Amino acid sequence: MKKDIAKLIEELDASPEEVEKINLLVELLLEEEHGRHEDIVFELGLIGDPSAVPAIAQAVEIPFQELVRWGNLHEFQRKCAYALARIGTAESKAALREMTRNKDEHIRQYGEEGLSHWPMPYRSR
């Protein structure tokens, strides 16, 4: 069953409560048919909710066609590593370690970079 991505984005843009927002972000992160992957993973990192770790760890391995087409796949993968470092849990650290064992050189590098910043606390101005 194909998801209605436009409806999910509309729900997200309606500024739902935080738990619902996290669930929508996680769901959208793994979907192909939109161009918000970088924004979504960045926001998940800012929120820092540990429930996002499995989706981020999965997303880092997906060659989303929009990101490939625009030449942003590696930037997205790096943002995934930083989001995991920002979340700062044992599970996020394990996901970064897994990235360091990836066959893709870029993912390995970003995993190492994320580990070098783990845990990365949020700093307000």
Domain that holds residue 27: 5-117
Q: Specify if 15 maps to a domain.
A: yes
Q: How far is CA 22 from CA 85, 103, 118, in A?
A: 17, 30, 21
Confidence bin at 6 (pLDDT 50/70/90):
low
Is a pLDDT exceeding 50 seen at residue 1? no
Of the pLDDT bands very low, low, confident and very high (cuts 50, 70, 90), residue 125 is: very low
Q: What residue type is 13 in one-letter code?
A: D
**Has residue 45 been placed in a domain?**
yes
Question: Residue 72: inside a domain, yes or no?
Answer: yes
Residue 95 lies in a domain: yes
CA pair distance 111, 125, nearest whole angstrom: 27
pLDDT > 90: what percent of the chain?
68
89 in a domain, yes or no? Answer: yes
Residue linked to tokens 């996002």: 52
CATH of residue 24's domain is 1.25.10.10
Q: What is the DSSP string of 32-81?
A: SSSS-HHHHHHHHHHHT-GGGHHHHHHHTT---HHHHHHT-HHHHHHHHH
Q: Which burial class, exposed, middle or buried, applies to 112 when counting CB atoms under 10 A from its CB (0-12, 13-18, 19+)?
A: middle
- 106-120, pLDDT tens digit by residue? 999 999 999 999 987
Confirm if 30 and 24 have CB atoms less than 8 A apart: no
Q: What is the pTM for the complete model shown?
A: 0.86
Count structural domains, the chain: 1
**Residue 100 counted as domain residue:** yes
pLDDT in the model for residue 35: 85
Residue range 13-38: mean pLDDT, rounded? 83
Residue 122 within any structural domain of the chain: no
Average per-residue pLDDT in the chain? Answer: 88
Q: Is 78 a domain residue?
A: yes
Residue 8 falls in which region: left (phi positive, over 0), alpha (psi -120 to 50) or beta: alpha
Among the listed residues 25, 29, 6, 9, the one whose alpha carbon sits nearest the alpha carbon of residue 76: 29
Please write the tens of the pLDDT for every residue from 52-76.
Answer: 999 999 999 999 999 999 999 999 9
